[in-house]
Structure 1
Amino acid sequence: MPPAPAPASTLDPANLHAIFKAYDVRGLVGDQIDDALARRIGGAFVAVTQVSTVVVGYDMRPSSPGLAGAFAEGASAAGADVVVIGLASTDQLYFASGHLDLAGVMFTASHNPAAYNGIKMCLPGARPIGAETGLLDIRDAVATEVTGAQTGSVTNRDVLAEYAHHLLSLAPVSGRRLKVVIDAGNGMAGHTAPAVFDRLGDQVEVVPMFFELDGTFPNHEANPIEPANLVDLQKRVLAEKADIGLAFDGDADRCFLVDERGELVSPSTLTGLIAARELTREPGATIIHNLITSRSVPEIVTELGGTPVRTRVGHSFIKATMAETDAIFGGEHSGHFYFRDFWRADSGMLAALHALAALAEGEQPLSRLLQQYVRFVASGEINSTVADQAAILHELEASYAGTPGVALDHLDGLTVAHDDWWFNVRASNTEPLLRLNAEGKDEATMVTMRDAVLSVIRRDQ
């Protein structure tokens, strides 16, 4: 879908309502996001959060340093001190926020194409800021330029080594030597992976792919949830006879795995593996999973004596539920993994280290190690453009309501569950899309259910 015509100014209310999303700010550079807007957001952030100091990081996109600098100007003009950590992955920014106990702001558009940029914000301790926890207040405060009684300072600090040390303290890797292919996608894993893996010495042989920081993404999109963007990694794993392949998105807060056969590993499977490891460390702990995660995860958690808790899709819901339940770990099927000991923030690199640690502890190949965490067949997320999303959801609900052995719930969209299968259909927050996820006890069951639901969703297409 082509973007809407740009407003006369990035400060126009229509533009602000378009780019302030549920969890962050995101838009086209120049047309929707520019230095003038970043400067205003800096002042608004300080005015709304009332923080005295904010730590700022940015990714490798050409526009990111300038936008981060403009934000720092606005925040310091509003009276806050600014600590700039420079080039960073999003989880490195969360580390800085937690480690220094400061509010944090990250300039990145994650996996979006090169023309985009955005802003992720958090309170001290990496506590999330979303639409329901202050983000829309910041949006509304942008209209007024904020000036403090005195100007705050702007200083630089490098936290990369401390970040790497902390991750390895949470998931140390020891045992047999591993050969690991890492596809950074020209994103920020090209910055963080060397800092982390160099500390492992001879324990790991790294085969780097696309480590050069380049926000134009010359090789492929830095969006590993799309299988097409993992083809290069799959081929390289096979060619190198590697033990595992790792793929990171643009800001390196998500990680996807490829096994030694070149096969893609479901994020739900990795969630099951990490949950098992964390439950060994803390028996009986609570594990969070979102509602499109495989049914395998709550089954495994329960069998291991843990408490599974189901949430809506989205990091703000995961983090809030983790805080309420003191959960030790949370996983999302989108490739986000959250750790209590990482300030309940998500870290693709920490998830990768857990996978490497489990693999190095034994002699099994990754595919065999993960077999115990794969119990159902999933469709993956299927998006359909639908003009009247509510009408389709109502029709699907009416079709299954009252069916013997079927349960419905509305935690996020519509979930319909049976002992042999389940599906969830939910509307996009930003586009006229319905997102379908389905799972069955076997391939035939999943395909039958998936196609039946799609026939309703796409009937008029």
Structure 2
Amino acid sequence: MASESVDGAPRIDERVKAVVGAYDVRGVVGDDLTEEVVEALAAAFVDEVGAAGTAVVVGHDMRDSSPVFAAAFARGATARGADVLSIGLCSTDESYFASGRLGLPAAMFTASHNPATYNGIKFSRAGAEAISRATGLASISERASRFLADGIRAVETTGSVEERDVLADYAAYLRSLVPLDAVRPLTIVVDAGNGMGGLTVPAVLETAAGLPSLPLTIIPLYFELDGTFPNHEANPLEPKNLVDLQKAVVEHGADLGLAFDGDADRCFVIDERGDAVTPSAVAAIVAVREIARARRESTDEQIHVIHNLITSRIVPETIEAAGAIPVRTKVGHSLIKDEMRRTGAVFGGEHSAHYYFRDFWSADNGMLAAMHVLAEFGMQDEPLSAFAAEYSPYAASGEINSTVADVPTAFARVVEAFSGRADFDELDGLTVSGNASMDDDFWWFSVRPSNTEPLLRLNVEAATRSRMQSIRDEVLALIRS
């Protein structure tokens, strides 16, 4: 029910509470996420963003439930007076493009890299502006709870539904931002993971959207749109999901490989040897290009670039060396979008392969990041392994999760063990840096509690692999003891 609780706070319907998170809506189809809940969320979204009398963009991925939920959303949205501009099958960054280019709020139906049993909604205000719990999702939850309790009252002038295909415009816009006509011929294996990259890659990097051909030979892997993910999970952050791509790159003698997640807003890069290029290295490569572009456009501009606190040290070093100002942030999708807008940053990069662009309404776009890598790499003759090595000089552990029954106590053990020999920073969890952090033997690690599970997440980086391993093992023993 949506009535007020004893203390006066609004009571959130349990069905809404089950699916609305910190940054988006996500849940198991049929159990948590139903058409009734989606209709209520749609009506709430329209009221929250003031879309009655205007329009909202609605797009969806290839999951079996996505078209059904998009139709349910249209019913709830039009009942509250908003027209629905349906862009149909699309990637998440394509929905951001529509929101930004048209100046309309948007709802994207996807569960990103989650298994086939899940679905969800990513909301944006007009101009692809992110909505988090702190900036609208809490209010949407309250409104949706009232609609579930009392029914959705249709306004006098209800909305209509119009279909529009924006894929060709999206592809043309990305090519205008990163021209690839002059790169050397490249052979690229692309693993779409049966996700939306199977639609966007042929449009952007090939000729499916009617654009001229590029000096790129694309070898497709799992381009068939299939929300059951029959080949592997569409989550390139998990190394097991990169194995097929790594083998294919080597077998075909390709110059590189690209792997997209389910909704194609994240992209991972594989070199010619089948080794992963870290997202931090990608962020550094793209940062150099975006700083240079901003410098060409305005010599007086003070240029900012965002990086979250667990990207490699090479990222802020590269930003500073290019004459820009690195801005260190907490981890978090909507938070970084907000920080991009606040600082006017030209670019932002995360360890999780989310990349944000001022020229893309400060939203994230994995395809655009991949194009920057192709543009920079394709203008020189070295293999990708050698080219990327410049941006990967340090040893990193990757993120290691530990299930911990008593997180505060484990946290306290880490603080006690490193007191006196390290510096501490509590921006997001705890970052611990060796006192001699500017020496050649530097090290640092981050320990962050999960917001939803009894987990501690550890990331370690050091100047050498042996130092990284020793710090990693010491901290893991403290966390897990």
The TM-score range, normalised by the shorter chain, is over 0.9
Contact 2:16 2:145 in 1 (8 A): no
The SS at the match of 2:410 is helix
Unaligned runs of 5+ in 1: 1-10
Give the match for residue 187 of structure 2. Answer: 179
Contact 2:12 2:142 in 1 (8 A): no
Give the match for residue 191 of structure 1. Answer: 199
The SS at the match of 1:120 is strand
The answer to whether 1:414 aligns with 2:443 is no
CA distance in 2, matches of 1:367, 1:277: 19
1:40-439 residue pairs with structure 2 within 5 A? 40-51=40-51, 52-145=54-147, 146=152, 147-173=154-180, 174-198=182-206, 199=211, 201-283=213-295, 285-401=303-419, 403-404=420-421, 406-418=422-434, 419=437, 420-439=442-461
Give the match for residue 7 of structure 1. Answer: none
The SS at the match of 1:41 is helix
Give the match for residue 4 of structure 1. Answer: none
CA distance in 1, matches of 2:195, 2:342: 33
CA distance in 2, matches of 1:125, 1:328: 16
Amino acid at match of 1:168: R
Shift of 1:397: 2.1
CA distance in 2, matches of 1:148, 1:398: 60
The SS at the match of 1:437 is strand
The SS at the match of 2:306 is strand
Unaligned runs of 5+ in 2: 1-10, 296-301
CA distance in 2, matches of 1:28, 1:141: 22
CA distance in 2, matches of 1:262, 1:398: 41
Amino acid at match of 1:245: G
Amino acid at match of 2:400: I
Amino acid at match of 1:123: R
Shift of 1:200: 5.4
Amino acid at match of 2:476: L
Shift of 1:399: 2.6
The SS at the match of 2:390 is helix
Contact 1:22 1:429 in 2 (8 A): no
Deviations 1:20-79 (Å, cap 9, x if unpaired)? Answer: 111101110000001111111110111122123210000000000000110111011011
Contact 1:21 1:430 in 2 (8 A): no
Contact 2:58 2:86 in 1 (8 A): yes
CA distance in 2, matches of 1:342, 1:148: 34
The SS at the match of 2:205 is helix
Amino acid at match of 2:176: S
CA distance in 1, matches of 2:134, 2:412: 26
TM-score, normalized by length of structure 1? 0.95
Amino acid at match of 1:179: T
CA distance in 2, matches of 1:409, 1:34: 42
Shift of 1:126: 0.3
More moved, 11-20 vs 200-209: 11-20
Shift of 1:113: 0.4
More moved, 198-207 vs 420-429: 198-207
Contact 1:289 1:308 in 2 (8 A): yes
More moved, 162-171 vs 385-394: 385-394
Contact 1:58 1:68 in 2 (8 A): yes
CA distance in 2, matches of 1:100, 1:263: 40
Contact 2:110 2:122 in 1 (8 A): yes
Shift of 1:202: 4.5
Percent identical residues = 54
Contact 2:15 2:37 in 1 (8 A): no
Amino acid at match of 1:416: V
